[in-house]
A = this chain, B = another copy of it.
Amino acid sequence: MTQTAEERVLEAIRKRRELVNGSIDEELPIGKPERLYEASRYILEAGGKRLRPTVTLLAAESLSDIEPFSQEYRSFPTPSSDRAGPNAIEGTTTDGADRIDVLRAAVAIEIVQSFTLIHDDIMDDDDLRRGVPAVHKQYDTSTAILAGDTLYSKAFELMTDTGATPHNGLETMRLLATTCTKICEGQALDVAFESRNDILPDEYLEMVELKTAVLYGAAASTPAVLFGTDSDVSEALYRYGIDSGRAFQIQDDVLDLTVPSEKLGKQRGSDLVENKETLITLHARQQGIDVDDLVETEDVDAVTEAEIDDAVEALEAAGSIDWAREKARDLTERSKDHLSVLPDNDARQLLEELADYLITRGY
């Protein structure tokens, strides 16, 4: 029975998600005060596809040319280790660190993602996340701010302790810190865009790069930095993450318009109701569509499906949705091209298929 590419990648994600989920207890134990740690773990435990840590684990597997799950991810052979496969990429770290806790690094990346979700939900005053109340609704705003702050420092704590050489460990910390700064810049741009209606598509893509894609970049390149592989390899993996991360966000924008509300877990078209600019609306504006008047209702709880249908129809007629899909496809192809630095192995193929999945997924 041969699997399709999508079945393969879904299975790859599921297996790695289980691995990540199984390590949360260990990596983020409930300390004191308990309420703070419970709030910090709340969103992590509410679900999530774990796409970013999956990217981290796959990148490690490909670099070391390891048969998936043939080695402990907590004591993962570096490319220069004698456990690495015959096609492992050349590593430069031979001074004592031939085993790395890549699972911990992957969890640190997911924890950064959780921290940003918690703080973003406060800023956007979003009530729901992953089908459950947002942290500031389930607890309160103070607890949510602090839960995010705690996850922030916990991610840094975990990343200091992966077993990498001090040089590679410090470089990974630098990558994590600059990534977090960029995420803040991206979120600030996103907030600022709410009060502007003259945003250019390139500005939008820059915001998406900062807010969303850099964490995919960090997820993909972290194993290379931990292993100390040549900078052209870590940079190519970073670019893979950036391009596929941008495509991921564009697909999110498309899904917001095209997937039924039940399946989406929130009101379809909520971006339009909340006057949130996306690549789609920016294209429509350029086609002369009066985007601000597409949906008159300004409350997601009051909008009707018929209103959304009409708006989506107008955007489709202007070619805006197809244009965004095309843009996402282009970025995905570019992202896969960057992977040519990796050995030709299963993990690399899964990274390619994962990039495809990011723009073909239905939710």
Contact = CB atoms under 8 A, between A and B. Distances in A.
Contact of A188 (B35, B160, B173, B185): B35
Interface stretch (A42-50, A58-66, A144-152): A144-152
B143 A188 contact: yes
A165 interface: yes
Q: Kindly report how many copies of this chain are found in the complex they form together.
A: 2
A122 interface: yes
Contact of A36 (B33, B143, B176, B184): B184
B35 A149 contact: no
B142 A185 contact: no
Contacts of A156: 156, 173, 176-177, 180
Interface in A153-208: 153-154, 156-157, 160-161, 165-167, 169-170, 173-174, 176-178, 180-181, 184-185, 187-189, 191-192
A80 B181 CA distance: 34
Nearest to A194: B142
B31 A185 contact: yes
A174 B119 CA distance: 24
A148 B122 CA distance: 14
Contacts of A169: 166, 170
A36 B152 contact: no
Contact of A191 (B142, B153, B166): B142
Contact of A119 (B36, B145, B192): B145
A146 B188 contact: yes
A185 B122 contact: no
A111 to B, nearest CB: 12
A263 interface: no
A340 B147 CA distance: 39
A32 B185 CA distance: 7
Given A122-B145, A149-B180, A160 B173 contact: yes
Contacts of A35: 188, 192
Contacts of A161: 174
A123 interface: yes
Interface string A9-46: 00000000000000000000001110110000000000
Contacts of A185: 31-33, 36, 150
A181 B146 CA distance: 10
Interface of A: 31-33, 35-36, 119, 122-123, 141-143, 145-146, 148-150, 152-154, 156-157, 160-161, 165-167, 169-170, 173-174, 176-178, 180-181, 184-185, 187-189, 191-192
Q: Which 5 residue pairs spanning A and B have beta carbons closest together?
A: A153-B180, A166-B166, A156-B177, A36-B188, A123-B142
16 contacts: A36-B184, A36-B188, A123-B145, A143-B191, A146-B188, A149-B180, A150-B181, A150-B184, A153-B180, A154-B177, A154-B181, A156-B173, A156-B176, A156-B180, A157-B174, A157-B178
